[in-house]
Amino acid sequence: MSKESAADQGSGSNHPPAPPLSRYESQKRRDWNTFGQYLKNQRPPVSLPQCNCNHVLEFLRYLDQFGKTKVHVHGCVFFGQPAPPAPCTCPLRQAWGSLDALIGRLRAAYEEHGGSPETNPFGNGSIRVYLREVKDCQAKARGIPYKKKKKRKINHPIKTHQQDELIKNNSKQPAV
């Protein structure tokens, strides 16, 4: 006898099971649920339509306490060293890259749940400023410079008049 619940046996639907979610979709769903729970736990609770960029910034600061990235403070002897030789008492914080990815997932989830891009609190300019400040602060503290990747230029050779003539002549020759 199978271990299906009574609800599964009596449903009578012949729908195939949904394919498993991708890692990204699973993270996005988990992050969305976590943010929703954070809003519900506020005093007073905040509904999603009331949510603004200040709530998002508070959420990011709240998450910092669960971080695993050592970020040296200005007074630390290891400030600016990428590989300190000994442990120190500096705080563990959320890594900039993790916060950036989290905001990207929450921004997408907000719009998937009916929010408009114009009112998306995760896309607000103050969030981008906060993330940039976290990135710069962590880069200095850990001695790891974040450099913007340069866009590669695609070199297209400029066609000369002679090349144009060759192309024209080759296209006029009959096929053998």
pLDDT in tens, 64-76: 999 999 999 999 9
| 116 within domain boundaries | yes
More confident residue, 129 or 168: 129
pLDDT digits (tens, 9 = 90+) for 143-160: 877 666 666 666 655 555
Whether residue 106 is predicted with pLDDT greater than 50 in this model: the reply is yes
Domain that holds residue 126: 23-142
Over the range 142-159, which residues count as b (16 or more CB within 10 Å of their CB) and which as e? beeeeeeeeeeeeeeeee
| 168 within domain boundaries | no
| 40 within domain boundaries | yes
Whether residue 167 is predicted with pLDDT greater than 70 in this model: the reply is no
Question: What pLDDT is stored for residue 5 in this prediction?
Answer: 45
Q: Which of 29-33, 79-83, 147-151 has the highest mean pLDDT?
A: 29-33
| 160 within domain boundaries | no
| 127 within domain boundaries | yes
From CA 151, how far away is CA 128, in angstroms rounded?
A: 21
| 131 within domain boundaries | yes
The mean predicted confidence, pLDDT, of the chain is: 83
List, in order, residues 6 or more apart from 113 with CB less than 8 Å away.
32, 48
| 5 within domain boundaries | no
Instruction: Count the Cβ atoms, other than its own, within 10 Å of residue 108.
Output: 17
Whether residue 163 is predicted with pLDDT greater than 50 in this model: the reply is yes
Instruction: Count the Cβ atoms, other than its own, within 10 Å of residue 58.
Output: 14
| 63 within domain boundaries | yes
pTM for the full predicted model: 0.71
Split into its structural domains, the chain has a count of 1
